[in-house]
Amino acid sequence: MTRIWRETGFVDNDPWVIETEEVKAGEGQKPLLSLEELVTKADESNEVGFGVLIKPADDVRKLEPYLYRLELVAVAFPAFNDGRAFSHASLLRERLGYTNELRAVGDVLIDQVPHMLRCGIDSFAVTNETAIKRLTEKRLPEIPHYYQPTARDAEPGKSYSWRRQAKPAA
Amino acid sequence: MGDKVLTANRLTDGIAVWLDANGTWVTSLQDALVARHAEAVAALEAIGKKSYADNLVVDVAVVDVQETDGVLWPLRLRERIRAQGPTMEYAPGYKPADPAFIAV
Amino acid sequence: MYRYDEFDHAFVAERVAQFRDQVERRLSGELAEDAFKPLRLMNGVYLQLHAYMLRIAIPYGTLNSKQMRMLAHVARTYDRGYGHFTTRQNLQFNWPKLSDMPDVLAELATVEMHAIQTSGNCIRNVTADHFAGAAADEVADPRPYAEILRQWSSVHPEFSFLPRKFKIAVTGAERDRAAIQVHDIGLHLKKNDKGEIGFAVYVGGGQGRTPMIAKLIKDFLPEEDLLSYTTAVMRVYNLHGRRDNKYKARIKILVHETGAEELARQVEVEFAALKDTELKLPEADVAAITAYFAPPALPQRAEGWENLARWKKADPAFSRWVHQNVQPHKNPDYGMVTISLKPIGGIPGDASDSQMDAVADIAEEYAFDEIRVSHEQNLILPHVALADLESVYRGLVAIGLAEANAGLITDIIACPGLDYCALANARSIPVAQEISRRFGNPERQAEIGELKIKISGCINACGHHHVGHIGLLGVEKKGAELYQITLGGSGDEHTSIGEIIGRGFEPEKVTDAIEKIVDTYLGLRNDPSEIFLDAYRRVGPQPFKDALYGDSKAEAA
């Protein structure tokens, strides 16, 4: 089963649903729209609170006019080694200035969670057992010394402008 | 259908191994169990899948061999080199592959 | 050379701990092979025919004696007593156990070494001119920039799952000794008219299945924009590089299919947004890194001139070695020494643990403790006083690494091939050994002159055969090995991809074919100063096709 994790812990009652042939958003749930659906719906109404699912081949910059109306952007990792969503996440945060929830969905494994966090992703739809276990134990396989600035805010690193360090735990 | 053996690399040290008649992974091709019928090959493949799932080995494959006077000879050059090691002197204390065995 | 600070030490230690945890989870079964594979690749761990292979990073090919001794120790303690220096300036061990690797990496960390990102779909070892910091023709040392790129690209969270591997090379002279035009990004460090430092940027070079020469996409990138521009290229590649077909996933295909101009434009758009961000390189940082690469203080050793002349007269073999293996240094009292790892009949690029230890001793005593690995699988001592050449030579003779063949026909580059590699279709090493033995005579080699033979055992071209003056590609045909010959390739500043000249040769016919090619060249060259490559470019393939296949039928295989 899929659980939603944030750094504050696992989240219950998450309303977001990735719709398929079999699964549709029900009572109290909200569908994650495709980029095309989002653009259509947003252009034809004044609604806010949308959720959108960005697929690897999507151009995430198309979200720019609708950012303030988005409650959730999910970026898809259909296979854990399809790294395009790392760039989508980075662009959303750094270029577009998106500040709401940014979620990784798909093949979310524990070893990529630290990379996802650094690219600005702040919630995770996790199905893999080992990932759930390690996240429950708060045991992320991370290296808190960074050699590059990324979307996520970090402490300045030592000696050189490109280095950063993990912020001390809150 | 020709004769076949099951081969893989051991997870812990990567060493090339073959499955013997006891279901053990051994480091000598010559000790491998030979499958001569389709059912036997299917059984080998099943054992291979299980060994992989049990984290004993990786890169499991069924390879073709020919048995002549009790000596197993893989049909593919690649597998002959896997069976005997590099084909030239490469480190003191380690014998190179037998050129007669390697030859096409 | 660069020295780790506290930050670097902490990072490498954390990386070792991270990998140790991953290996434990793999061995216990908690982590499955398909999830583990990209993680182990990003720590340099391959699975080959006979065993695992561990590829250790030697950043831009620079190492010191302490590091070389550690490599010898690892070879001795965890492997079969030898290692193989590669065409990307790294070192490979062929027999390490997965269960030992965390310990190996922990030991390497104590001497500031690692195996991070030497494989996987990420940014690999940034290579550089092996004569950097010493060559008489150098405009600026490329290594500080290679070091900056190395740091910045280490565990970059956005670029760890690229469509495919990514290789960057940097050169700092007009002569390109780093083959930058067959790299994904090639950087030519230069000065503009105002004397400012910057880079000509080439993108989309590569060998393998579809060899391509990189395209110049930026004439002059100012030094301070190195990281922002590189980020722009990487982001465009990460988003748009093909992921549907492993053989079309390199950036060279993206450049080819998009068009260089359009790709350059896309990069410029991204670069414009990144140019004035925190990725801008402050001068102070560049200066600080550059300071690590300051050349050693080289005392005047004027006595070297006279001594050298005397020693050469007394010993023709030494004279030959000086002539062939010692190149001019910025400082006239010094020379750059090539230690050939191609003894006649030996395995190209291999060194035993005792040879590594001896090279470390020689480097420490006579070469200011600096060693380089060239992409041609040789070792370099970049700073040796002419006055010490004889001692260095004697030291090399004692360990069997004094072959005077740098750049000559027996200085062959060969990938490990089917003797080791799970990707190979044919063997490379025995072919190299036989050619080496046939042409081993020093006088004959000198007569032939510069001739770079490069051998790959499969289409992946790790032997760089596409840029060999003579290239050999091993293929499999009907269960047997066959070797395709290409001519006229070059990896220098006039990069060219070798042309296939006809049907392939069986292993036992290859050396004779090489001999025919050489004899044809000797017969048609203008004079001994016209090297093989130049003669080929002048006359084209026909004389060689005629010699090999007869003027009757000369069809490509």
Q: Could you report the per-residue pLDDT of C296-309, keeping only the tens digit for each?
A: 999 999 999 999 99
- Closest to C369 in 3D by CA, of C112, C111, C132, C64: C64
Residue of B nearest to C33 (CA): B58
Q: Which residue of B has its CA nearest to C26?
A: B55
C and A interact (at least 3 Cβ pairs within 8 A): yes
Residue C297 lies in a domain: no
Q: Which residues of C touch B94 (CB under 8 A)?
A: 80
* Mean of pLDDT values over C19-35: 94
C315 in the same domain as C279: no
Residue C193, token pair as written in the block: 């008219």
| Predicted ipTM beyond 0.95 | yes
Q: Say whether C548 sits in a helix, a strand or coil.
A: helix
Domain boundaries, chain B: 3-75
Q: Please answer whether residues C438 and C429 qualify as being in contact, where contact means their C-beta atoms are separated by less than 8 angstroms.
A: no
What are C156-183's pLDDT values in tens digits?
999 999 999 999 999 999 999 999 999 9
Q: How far is B4 from chain C (nearest CA, A)?
A: 17
**CA of A125: how far to CAs of A4, A10, C34, in Å?**
5, 10, 20
The tally of CA atoms less than 13 A away on the side-chain side of residue A143 is 29
C515-533, pLDDT tens digit by residue? 999 999 999 999 999 999 9
Q: What is the pLDDT of residue A20?
A: 87
What pLDDT is recorded for position C96?
A: 98
Contacts of C116 (CB under 8 A, 6+ apart): C12, C15, C42, C43, C44, C57, C154, C155
Of the candidates A141, A148, A162, the beta carbon closest to that of C18 is on: A141
pLDDT band at A168; cut points 50, 70, 90: confident
Interface residue A137 vs chain C (CB under 8 A): no
Q: What is the pLDDT of residue C557?
A: 46
Q: How confident is the model at residue A170 (pLDDT cuts 50, 70, 90)?
A: low
Residue C31 lies in a domain: yes
Asked if C165 and C279 sit in the same domain, the reply is: yes
- The H or E element spanning position C309 is helix C303-314
Q: How far apart are CA A118 and CA A104, in angstroms?
A: 12
Number of domains in chain C: 4
C216 forms beta bridges with: C202
Q: Which domain covers residue C362, as residue numbers?
A: 307-398
Kindly state whether A145 is in contact with chain C, defined as any CB-CB distance less than 8 angstroms: yes
Chain B residues 65-94 with a CB less than 8 Å from chain C:
75-78, 81-82, 85-88, 90-94
Give the closest-approach CA distance of B22 to chain C in angstroms. Answer: 23
The C-alpha of A49 sits at a distance from chain C's nearest C-alpha, in angstroms, of 27
Asked whether the beta carbons of residue C49 and residue B52 sit closer than 8 angstroms, the reply is no
Q: Is residue C119 part of a domain?
A: no
Distance from CA of C358 to the nearest CA of A (A): 35
* pLDDT at residue B104, as a whole number: 84
Site from C23, C55, C352, C418 to mutate, B interface, most B CB atoms within 10 angstroms: C418
Residue C279: predicted pLDDT: 97
Residue C357 lies in a domain: yes
The pLDDT value recorded for residue C551 is: 58
Rounded distance, CA A54 to CA A41, Å? 16
Chain A residues in contact with C235 by the CB 8 A cut-off are: 87, 90-91
H-helix or E-strand containing A50? Answer: strand A50-54
Q: Which pLDDT score is estimated for A169?
A: 67
| Residue B91 in tokens | 């480190």
Give residue-wise pLDDT tens across range A6-54.
999 999 999 999 988 899 999 999 999 999 999 999 999 999 999 999 9
pLDDT the model gives residue B1: 76
Best mutation target among C9, C18, C36, C158 (most A Cβ atoms within 10 Å) is C158
In a domain, C116, yes or no: no
- State the CATH number of the domain containing residue C320: 3.90.480.20
Q: Do C424 and B78 touch (CB under 8 A)?
A: yes
The residue among B60, B84, B87 with the most chain C CBs within 10 A of its CB, best to mutate, is B87
Number of B:C CB contacts under 8 A? 84
Query: Å from A5 to nearest chain C CA?
Result: 19
Q: Which residues of B touch C419 (CB under 8 A)?
A: 81, 86-88, 90
CATH number at residue C465: 3.30.413.10
Pairing of strands A16-17, A30-31: parallel
- Measured in angstroms, the CA of C289 and the nearest CA of chain A are apart by 9
Does C57 lie in the same domain as C153? no
- Domain identity same for C276 and C354: no
Under 8 Å between Cβ of C469 and C445: no
Which chain C residue is nearest to residue A128, measuring alpha carbons? C31
- Backbone dihedral angles phi then psi of residue C20, each to the nearest 5 degrees: -60, -45
Q: What is the pLDDT of residues C400-418, one digit of tens each?
A: 999 999 999 999 999 999 9
Using DSSP, state whether A104 is helix, strand or coil: strand
User: If pLDDT is split at 50, 70 and 90, which confidence band does C552 have?
Assistant: low
Mean per-residue pLDDT, C67-92: 98
pTM for the full predicted model: 0.96
Among C52, C98, C418, the residue with its CB nearest the CB of B81 is C418
Q: Is C47's CB within 8 Å of B77's CB?
A: no
Query: What share of chain C has pLDDT > 70, as a percent?
Result: 99
pLDDT at position C309 is 94
pLDDT of residue C554: 47
Kindly report, residue by residue over C475-499, the tens digit of the pLDDT. 999 999 999 999 999 999 999 999 9
Q: Average pLDDT over chain C, rounded to whole? A: 96
Question: Is the domain of C277 the same as that of C179?
Answer: yes
E-assigned strand segments in C340-378: 350-352, 371-373
Residues of B with Cβ-Cβ distance to C80 under 8 angstroms = 90-91, 93-94
Do C74 and C185 lie in one domain? The reply is no
Q: Are residue C62 and residue C194 in the same domain, yes or no?
A: no
Q: Do C48 and B14 touch (CB under 8 A)?
A: yes
> Residue range C406-434: average pLDDT?
98
The stretches in chain B having pLDDT less than 70 are none
Whether C320 and C277 share a structural domain: no
Q: Does one domain contain both C148 and C263?
A: yes
All domains in chain A, ordered by first residue: 3-143 (3.20.20.70)
The Cα C315–Cα C308 span in angstroms is 11
- Looking at the fold, whether C256 and C325 belong to one and the same domain comes out as no
The string of pLDDT tens digits covering residues C220-245 is: 999 999 999 999 999 999 999 999 99
CA distance B36 to chain C (A): 22
Chain C residues whose CB is inside 8 A of the B75 CB are 479
Do C147 and C279 fall into the same domain?
A: yes
User: Tens of pLDDT along C337-381?
Assistant: 999 999 999 999 999 999 999 999 999 999 999 999 999 999 999
As a whole number, the mean pLDDT across chain A is 95
Separation CA C220–CA C192 (nearest Å): 8
> Which chain B residue has the Cα nearest residue C29?
B55
DSSP codes, C270-294: HHHHHTTSTTSPPHHHHHHHHHHTP
Q: Is A40 on the interface with C (CB under 8 A)?
A: no
Whether chain B lies against chain A with 3 or more Cβ pairs closer than 8 A is no
